[in-house]
């Protein structure tokens, strides 16, 4: 097996730093929305042809790249998502998006870049490692129901069957060279909820003749605050946020209908189910009291992402041994954001980790912000750690095999 100690950040930098930077800049300048990643797909396919890697298109705009080393062995999959967001970039970078209103504001351009760089090294050193590596260039992470599911349905986890999977996601709050993960739940269930409270319009001066939907909505929204604060364990993780509310037409008209939309984030399935029923119970009791009715749509999104404890421990030890103390930060709590890598993690033992891409010389902005930026110096760290983890996962479990 390719010697772990050769994969230093400096070694990657000497071989690939110009490639990492130019590939990243190209992808960043040409972002495409979910399900529309046609140019990105073509770029990936052209790069794979140039490097000499077998590949096939999947889930319309995705690509699976596959390479086997000097001999068959375990199979490891790394997910790199490729889509961008409907955001007008405001970073002022000289390689800003050339596609108006569309921006790589979640770092998926960086994910794609390191996927290609890792394949370059795996190909050049093919005689030095055993097993099969698949890179899942996944479309449509940012728009549910997501691109991971169709790629799985089209067989990405089969032929050969994937033994372990990995995902590195950019994180602007960690510095380059630092990776963050925890065993168990790493990310949340990310659900959407739509609520309408239906009353009866009328004259604002004679409320008794109608049913005031704004008053009903006020009671509902206030009541919702007690679900997490008073009816969920303080040791559990849950968020309910209503992000939109609309209703009414004029100051002297009694409002007949209010619509709200929001998001619910949980970790445990029991808590998720509990919130689904409590929201409706509250809605039912409030509208019954007022004599109104309601509409309720709860849409389950990406499931919570589970990090296999044994693999997480193995990667933590191995990354620390190779790249030094402080390389791996352990987050005590899961993040309340989500990612459809969780769909892969439900099928095979997996690890989702954050990869530090923050800058120390300027302000770092959150994911999905128009000023989100990736520190280009972090690309070599992501490629080195990604490659290292792939090789580790190709070997993990080998000792136990006959």
- Residues lying near Zn ion in the complex (CB under 5 A) are found at 106
83 catalytic, yes or no? Answer: yes
Whose Cβ is closer to Zn ion: residue 106's or residue 282's? 106
- What is the C-alpha end-to-end distance of the chain, expressed in Å? 18
Whose Cβ is closer to Zn ion: residue 4's or residue 143's? 143
Residue 368 Cβ vs Zn ion, minimum distance, rounded to whole Å: 6
Cα four-point dihedral sign 354, 357, 359, 364 = negative
Whose Cβ is closer to Zn ion: residue 323's or residue 355's? 355
Residue 113 Cβ vs Zn ion, minimum distance, rounded to whole Å: 14
Distance CA 350, CA 314 (A): 12
Catalytic residue among 83, 142, 180, 308: 83
Residue 50 Cβ vs Zn ion, minimum distance, rounded to whole Å: 26
Residues in the chain: 402
Burial profile 362-392: b = 16 or more Cβ within 10 angstroms, e = fewer:
eebbeeebebbbbbbbbbbbbbbbbbbbbbb
Cα four-point dihedral sign 86, 91, 97, 98 = positive
Comparing every residue's Cβ against Zn ion, the nearest one is 106
Distance CA 218, CA 304 (A): 31
Whose Cβ is closer to Zn ion: residue 56's or residue 149's? 149
333's tokens: 């709590």
Residue 339 Cβ vs Zn ion, minimum distance, rounded to whole Å: 6
Whose Cβ is closer to Zn ion: residue 17's or residue 81's? 81
The strand ranges marked E within 85-147 are 132-138
Residue 286 Cβ vs Zn ion, minimum distance, rounded to whole Å: 34
- Among residues 337, 273, 258, the alpha carbon closest in space to that of 305 is found at 337
Catalytic residue among 17, 37, 89, 141: 141
60 catalytic, yes or no? Answer: no
Instruction: Report, as residue numbers or ranges, the catalytic residues.
Output: 83, 141
């Amino acid at each position: 097996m390719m010697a772990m100690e050769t994969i230093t950040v400096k070694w990657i930098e000497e071989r690939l730093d110009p490639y990492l930077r130019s590939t990243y800049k190209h992808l960043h300048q040409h972002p495409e929305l979910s399900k529309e990643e046609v140019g990105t797909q073509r770029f990936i396919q052209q790069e794979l042809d140039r490097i000499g890697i077998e590949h096939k298109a999947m889930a319309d705009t995705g690509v699976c790249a596959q390479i086997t080393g000097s001999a068959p062995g375990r199979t490891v999959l790394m997910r790199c998502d490729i889509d961008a967001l409907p955001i007008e970039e405001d970073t002022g970078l000289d390689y800003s998006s050339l596609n108006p209103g569309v921006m790589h504001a979640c770092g998926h351009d960086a994910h794609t870049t390191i996927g290609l760089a890792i394949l370059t090294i795996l190909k050049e050193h093919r005689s030095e490692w055993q097993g099969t590596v698949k890179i899942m260039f996944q479309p449509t992470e940012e728009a549910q129901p997501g691109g991971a599911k169709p790629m799985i349905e089209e067989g990405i986890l089969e032929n050969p069957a994937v033994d372990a999977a990995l995902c590195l996601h950019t994180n602007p709050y960690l510095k380059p060279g630092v990776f963050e993960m925890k065993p168990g739940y790493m990310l949340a269930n990310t659900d959407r909820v739509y609520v309408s409270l239906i009353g009866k319009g009328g004259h604002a001066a004679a409320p008794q003749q109608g049913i005031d939907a704004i008053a009903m909505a006020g009671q509902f929204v206030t009541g919702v605050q007690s679900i997490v604060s008073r009816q969920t364990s303080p040791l559990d993780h849950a968020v309910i946020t209503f992000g939109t509310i609309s209703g009414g037409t004029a100051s002297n008209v009694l409002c007949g209908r209010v619509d709200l939309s929001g998001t619910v984030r949980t970790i445990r399935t029991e808590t998720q189910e509990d919130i689904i029923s409590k929201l409706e119970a509250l809605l039912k009791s409030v509208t019954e009291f007022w004599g109104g009715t309601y509409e309720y749509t709860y849409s389950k999104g990406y499931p919570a992402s589970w990090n296999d404890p044994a693999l997480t421990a193995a990667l933590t030890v191995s990354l620390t041994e190779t790249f030094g103390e402080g390389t791996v930060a352990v987050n005590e709590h899961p993040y309340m954001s989500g990612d459809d890598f969780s769909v892969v993690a439900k099928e095979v033992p997996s690890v989702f980790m954050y990869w530090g891409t923050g800058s120390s010389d300027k302000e770092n902005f959150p994911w999905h912000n128009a000023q989100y930026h990736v520190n280009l110096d972090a690309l070599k760290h992501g490629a080195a750690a990604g490659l290292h983890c792939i090789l580790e996962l190709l070997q993990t479990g080998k000792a136990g095999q006959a």
